[in-house]
Amino acid sequence: MNAVLAVAYMLPDNGVSKQPDHQKSWLLLKNALEAVNELYLGPPDLRGLQALLVMVVLFMAASAARPCNFLISVAIHISDQLGLGTTEGISIFTDEEKQDRQIVFWLAYCLDREISFRFGEPPVQNDEAISAALPKDTPGFLVYSLPTNDQAGSFSVFASACKLAQIRGEIYQRLYSASAADRPFHQILAAVGDLDGKLQAWKDSLPSEFQPESPTHFHFRQTPMSIVLLHMHNTYHNCMIAIHSLIAARGINSAQDLSDHPGYTINPDSLSNPRVLLSASLTSKAARASIGLMKYLPKDDISLGLTMYFPTVALKTLASSIVRNPRDTGQVYNMRILDQAEAFLSSTSAGTTSEGMKRLVKNCAEFRSLAERAMKECV
Domain carrying residue 227: 153-281
Name the domain boundary from 233, 266, 281.
281
pTM to 2 decimal places: 0.90
Same-domain check for residues 254 and 364: no
pLDDT in tens, the chain (379 residues): 667 777 766 666 544 555 666 677 767 777 777 778 888 888 899 999 998 999 899 889 888 899 999 999 999 999 999 999 888 877 788 888 888 898 999 999 999 999 999 999 999 998 888 888 887 755 556 667 777 776 567 788 889 999 999 999 999 999 999 989 888 888 888 999 999 999 999 999 998 888 998 776 556 665 667 888 889 999 999 999 999 999 988 877 666 666 666 666 666 666 778 898 899 999 999 999 999 998 888 877 778 888 889 999 999 999 999 998 888 888 899 999 999 998 888 887 766 666 777 888 888 999 999 999 999 888 6
Whether 75 is in a domain gets the answer no
Q: How many CB atoms lie within 10 A of CB 260?
A: 11
Whether 6 is in a domain gets the answer no
Whether 53 is in a domain gets the answer no
Same-domain check for residues 163 and 260: yes
Same-domain check for residues 176 and 271: yes
Same-domain check for residues 219 and 259: yes
Same-domain check for residues 223 and 270: yes
The answer to whether 241 and 289 are in contact (CB under 8 A) is no
Same-domain check for residues 162 and 247: yes
Whether 275 is in a domain gets the answer yes
Name the domain boundary from 281, 299, 329.
281
Whether 119 is in a domain gets the answer no
Same-domain check for residues 311 and 217: no
Same-domain check for residues 269 and 330: no
Name the domain boundary from 281, 298, 328.
281
Same-domain check for residues 276 and 324: no
Same-domain check for residues 157 and 277: yes
Whether 335 is in a domain gets the answer yes
Same-domain check for residues 190 and 271: yes
Whether 105 is in a domain gets the answer no
What is the count of structural domains for the chain?
2
Whether 141 is in a domain gets the answer no
